[in-house]
Amino acid sequence: MNKEKKQNYISEMTTQFDKSEAVIVAHYQGLTVNQLDNLRAKMREHGIIFKITKNRITKIALEKTRCKELSNLFTGPTAVALSKDAITSAKILTNFSKENSNLKILGGIMGNDILDVAGVKNVATLPSLDEARAKIVGILRSPAQKIASILLAPASKIAILALEKSKK
C-alpha cells in the first residue's frame, strides 16, 4: 500500500468511526471466505459495514476519533462492524459467533460507552427499536381495548362489574 492509499484509508476510517453510533471489534481468524461473505451479507441488509482492518493504520485513524480507547483491541486478524444501530449489529455478531466459534467478539463502543465482551452480549439481548415500539403500542392499546369491551357489553354485565367493584 503506497503512501497515498494509506492516507485515503486513514481518512476514510476516521470518518466512518466518527459517523458510527456503534463500533464492535472482533477477531475472524479461522472463518472461511463463504462464512465471511454470509456475515457481511447479513450486516449489509441492516446497513452495517463489516470491514477487515489493517491494524497499524487503523490505530492511526482511531487517534483522531472518540473511539481511541479501542486501539488496544486491534491486534491479530481484526474486523470491525460500524453501524448507526448498536443493538442490531451486536445481535448479528453475537448470533453469528454462537454458530461459528472462530468469530470472537473483543469489545466495542456504543455512543460514548466502552463495551467489553459481556457488554456487547448484553446489548444484543436488548429489543431493537422496532420491537420496543411494538411493545409500547401494545401496552397503550390494551387499556383502550378493555374500556371498549366494557362499553360494548350488555347492561347486565356492566351492572355485575359495578357490583364487584363496590364489594372491594
Cell 354485565 appears where? Answer: 157
Looking at residue 130, what is its pLDDT?
Answer: 76
Calpha distance 28→17 (Å, rounded): 20
Whether 138 and 111 map to the same domain: the answer is no
Whether 102 and 21 map to the same domain: the answer is yes
Q: What is the CATH number of the domain that holds 60?
A: 3.30.70.1730
Whether 31 and 18 map to the same domain: the answer is yes
Tens of pLDDT, residue by residue over 83-118, are 888 788 888 999 998 988 888 999 888 887 888 888
Whether 83 and 56 map to the same domain: the answer is yes
- Mean pLDDT for the chain overall: 84
Whether 86 and 158 map to the same domain: the answer is no
Element (H, E) at 83: strand 78-83
Model pTM? Answer: 0.72
How many structural domains compose the chain?
2
Looking at residue 34, what is its pLDDT?
Answer: 92
Whether 81 and 29 map to the same domain: the answer is yes
Provide the residue range defining the domain that includes 14.
3-126
Maximum distance among all Cα pairs of the chain, rounded to whole angstroms: 86
* Contacts of 105 by beta carbon, 8 Å cutoff, 6+ apart: 24, 25, 26, 93, 94, 97, 117, 120, 121
Whether 120 and 136 map to the same domain: the answer is no
* Contacts of 124 by beta carbon, 8 Å cutoff, 6+ apart: 87, 90, 91, 93, 94, 95
Q: Are 103 and 61 in contact (CB under 8 A)?
A: no
Looking at residue 19, what is its pLDDT?
Answer: 86
Looking at residue 41, what is its pLDDT?
Answer: 92
At residue 123, φ and ψ (nearest 5 deg) are: -60, -35
> Comparing 29-43, 115-129, 133-147, which segment has the lowest mean pLDDT?
133-147
Whether 72 and 95 map to the same domain: the answer is yes
